[in-house]
Structure 1
């Protein structure tokens, strides 16, 4: 179970949540705009939190954890980066070809996947270079 958590990109969670919304509702736009709660603000306006906002919030938390996971220089990180790339390809294809995925919420989830794909290897390389640099100072 622990290996599955290390290998699997966590952004899979918001993508599957979005897929669940698409499968169990007729119109994604209407369902994602459904108000979950409304909170009065000091400015006498209401802060409205929708289902789409919840999916994006969960996606941001998952992206944060993915970026922290990418600082690892273990071989598990390579598998995670490859699976993140496959998830990004799935998101791009779904966004372009399937009408239920052509929403702003899914577009932002796709951008989160892109950031994960770009940031993951970069952070891993920087962490590995730092480790090598520390080792060189000790030897020299």
Structure 2
């Protein structure tokens, strides 16, 4: 059952909680990354959530290659996470940011990729078994 939980739910939940409780954290610079050019790249709280989301999206895409019943449940739950994130974006003023829009877009990519990879894998399995 725990393998069925979409990992991006943690990013959506973290952003939602932070936006409602301590919204200033999302825009605060947490650290800076010095670049060879001499410039510095500031990392804000929202940026850190985006990086975490991208890493978790990679894991979700890898997990989509499985066709187990846990993977199917994961796809359905990923769709639920996307719908919740979309509703939050549309109706909650504190979620109206480009950062949350990109997180919501990651959940959509997770849904599309999950179903696409699973269907492709199932077709390939059917062709090889014939």
TM range (shorter): over 0.9
Alignment of 1:83 with 2:77, yes or no, is yes
Structure 1 Cα separation of the partners of residues 8 and 27 of structure 2: 21
Q: Secondary structure in 2 aligned to 1:72?
A: coil
Alignment of 1:134 with 2:128, yes or no, is yes
Tell me the equivalent position of 1:120: 114
Aligned pairs for 1:49-128 within 5 A: 49-128=43-122
| Root-mean-square deviation (Å) | 1.2
Structure 1 Cα separation of the partners of residues 43 and 104 of structure 2: 21
Q: TM-score, normalised by structure 1?
A: 0.87
- CA shift for structure 1 position 47: 1.4
- CA shift for structure 1 position 21: 0.9
Q: 1:47-81 deviations in whole A, cap 9, x for unaligned?
A: 11111111001111111111111111112222111
Q: State the number of aligned residues.
A: 130
Tell me the equivalent position of 2:16: 19
Tell me the equivalent position of 1:8: 5
8 Å Cα contact 2:20/2:94 also seen in 1: no
Gaps of 5+ in 1: none
8 Å Cα contact 2:11/2:52 also seen in 1: yes
Q: TM-score, normalised by structure 2?
A: 0.93
Q: Secondary structure in 2 aligned to 1:76?
A: helix
